[in-house]
């Protein structure tokens, strides 16, 4: 099984990195092939919104890390995305990345109906927020991140098999209980 971890946190030793690190360890221990990508290390030009990629099935901009990540997504069986909450949504770098890869995530029928290109693949979503639990969910902090990512993945054909939402990360680090839950999620794959 080929697992791709997308870490959308700019903090190399933050909570998202810690959670994804535990998931990566568990996946490797289970014999899975793992590729890990830090979104903040990528060089991706913003989408121009020209929509030419829909008919060309390729972006008109010069190739950058967006196409490299798209090839990794196309090759993976499981996509794990870790994203901290920025104003109730995913970080801008992750959104820009998905904007640039739209043509490789979903197609369109002749009538303009979206066609998922990754049907049958699974995904796991992880989000953290400094807003304490349960307010991180009630005030749509981590819930906003998860909702936005689910929307992208739904139209791409991915099935979200699990989500992890952790609030209050400014006050305390991710708990051992949460890390163990993340290990179990990977083992179930």
pLDDT tens-digit readout, 143-163 = 999 999 999 999 999 999 999
Note the pTM of the prediction, 2 decimals: 0.95
Give percent above pLDDT 70 in the chain.
100
What are the start-end ranges of the H helices in the chain? 15-29, 52-56, 65-75, 92-100, 102-105, 135-138, 142-156, 176-188
pLDDT of residue 133 exceeding 90: no
Q: Assign 189 to helix, strand or coil.
A: coil
pLDDT digits (tens, 9 = 90+) for 55-97: 899 999 999 999 999 999 999 999 999 999 998 999 999 999 9
DSSP 41: G
State the average pLDDT over residues 124-142.
89
Residue 45 — pLDDT band, cuts 50, 70, 90? Answer: very high
DSSP 149: H
For residue 171, the model assigns a pLDDT of 79
Give the chain's mean pLDDT.
95
CB 76 within 8 A of CB 44: no
For residue 69, the model assigns a pLDDT of 98
The backbone torsions φ and ψ at residue 52, rounded to the nearest 5 degrees and listed phi first, read -65, -30
Quote the CA–CA distance of 4 and 79 in Å, as a whole number. Answer: 5
Q: What domains are there in the chain, each with its CATH number?
A: 2-188 (3.40.50.360)
Quote the CA–CA distance of 19 and 25 in Å, as a whole number. Answer: 10
């Amino acid at each position: 099984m080929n697992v791709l971890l997308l870490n959308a946190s700019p903090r190399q030793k933050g909570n998202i990195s810690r959670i994804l690190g535990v998931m990566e360890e568990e996946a490797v221990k289970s014999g899975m092939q793992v590729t890990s990508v830090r979104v903040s290390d990528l060089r991706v030009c913003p989408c121009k919104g020209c929509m030419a990629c829909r008919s060309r099935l390729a972006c008109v901009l010069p190739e950058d890390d967006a196409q490299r990540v798209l090839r990794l997504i196309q090759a993976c069986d499981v996509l794990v995305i870790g994203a901290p909450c920025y104003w109730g949504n995913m970080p801008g770098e992750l959104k820009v990345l998905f904007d640039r890869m739209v043509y490789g995530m979903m197609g369109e029928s002749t009538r303009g109906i979206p066609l998922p290109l990754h049907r049958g693949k699974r995904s796991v979503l992880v989000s953290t927020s400094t807003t304490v639990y349960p307010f991180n969910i009630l005030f749509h902090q981590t819930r906003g991140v998860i909702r936005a990512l689910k929307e992208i993945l739904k139209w791409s054909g991915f099935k979200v098999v699990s989500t992890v939402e952790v609030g209050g990360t400014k006050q305390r680090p991710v708990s051992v209980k949460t890390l163990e839950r993340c290990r179990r999620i990977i083992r179930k794959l």
